[in-house]
Amino acid sequence: MSKVIVIAAPSGTGKTSLIESLLKEDRGHTIKLGVSFTTRKKRENEINGLSYFFINKDEFIRMRERNEFLESAEVFGNLYGTNRSWVEKQVKAGSKVLLELDWQGAKQVKSSFPDCLTLFILPPSHQELKERLIKRGLDDQDIVKKRLSLAKSDILEGKDFDFLIINDVFENSLNDLKKIILEGKELSKERIDLANNLLEELLKN
């Protein structure tokens, strides 16, 4: 099992909830969750240093110029980055590092850690993704539309990840993650085929 694991997904697919539940199932506390730096404004339920490290744009740019980020990206006008030295320190200590990124970040991490494990989470349908984005109430209508328009390109980039996980029934999706990350096992043929068939449908729309 690789020491660096990247999970990516279109916005609203539910990857954060899945990751939180996965970490609760990690009884041996073998996984360290990476906390990204961002210039995005802190939401009401977020905690600095736990959800993200919230910094201003000038500070972020200085860190990037000093090559302090393993990966960085701009998403909807906000900058995000993962601290390089923190990841390297955890890997040297023998821990598994789990990074919640977008596909751009996943590709950058892959260039530094070629054996990193990449997982891409698929929504069960475009309609379900739209409903989830609206229900969570975090973005205005314009941002929701932008997230939906980018979902197909995200999925197109994510199709070549090591594993595709469908977030259809939450417990099934969580079991898929546990099997791969905690148990080091392959998914069942049924789940693999289901994901591949869904991928084709999502890319048609």
- 146 confidence band (pLDDT: 50, 70, 90): confident
The C-alpha atoms of residue 131 and residue 189 are separated, in whole angstroms, by 29
145 inside domain: yes
Which pLDDT score is estimated for 162?
Answer: 96
Name the residue type at position 99.
Answer: L
Judging by beta carbons within 10 Å of its beta carbon (0-12, 13-18, 19+), is residue 72 exposed, middle or buried?
buried
Domain that holds residue 145: 4-34+96-204
150 inside domain: yes
77 inside domain: no
Check which CATH number belongs to the domain holding 23 and give it: 3.40.50.300
Which pLDDT score is estimated for 158?
Answer: 93
> To which H or E segment does residue 121 belong?
strand 117-122
Which is higher by pLDDT, 147 or 85? 85
Using alpha carbons, select from 190, 189, 77, 56 the residue that is nearest to residue 142: 77
Q: Give the model confidence (pLDDT) of 110-137 as tens digits.
A: 999 999 999 999 998 888 887 877 777 6
Q: Give the model confidence (pLDDT) of 61-71 as tens digits.
A: 999 999 999 99
Chain length of the chain: 205
Which pLDDT score is estimated for 161?
Answer: 96
149: pLDDT strictly greater than 70: yes
193 inside domain: yes
> To which H or E segment does residue 91 belong?
helix 84-92
- 183 confidence band (pLDDT: 50, 70, 90): very high
Judging by beta carbons within 10 Å of its beta carbon (0-12, 13-18, 19+), is residue 40 exposed, middle or buried?
middle
Which pLDDT score is estimated for 42?
Answer: 93
Which pLDDT score is estimated for 1?
Answer: 61
Mean pLDDT, the chain, rounded, equals 91
Q: Is 140 helix (H, G, I), strand (E, B) or coil?
A: coil
Total count of domains within the chain = 1
pLDDT (average), residues 146-165: 88
Judging by beta carbons within 10 Å of its beta carbon (0-12, 13-18, 19+), is residue 115 exposed, middle or buried?
exposed
56 inside domain: no
47 inside domain: no
The C-alpha atoms of residue 93 and residue 88 are separated, in whole angstroms, by 9
148 inside domain: yes
85 inside domain: no
Bridge partners, residue 166, by sequence? 122
Which pLDDT score is estimated for 29?
Answer: 85
Tell me the DSSP string of 157-202: HHTTSSEEEE-SSHHHHHHHHIIIIIS--PPPHHHHHHHHHHHHHH
181: pLDDT strictly greater than 80: yes
Q: Are 68 and 27 in contact (CB under 8 A)?
A: no
27: pLDDT strictly greater than 90: no
Q: Are 182 and 119 in contact (CB under 8 A)?
A: no
- 151 confidence band (pLDDT: 50, 70, 90): confident
Which pLDDT score is estimated for 83?
Answer: 96
Phi, psi of 17 (to 5 degrees): -65, -40
Q: Give the model confidence (pLDDT) of 37-73 as tens digits.
A: 999 999 888 999 888 999 999 999 999 999 999 999 9
Which pLDDT score is estimated for 205?
Answer: 65
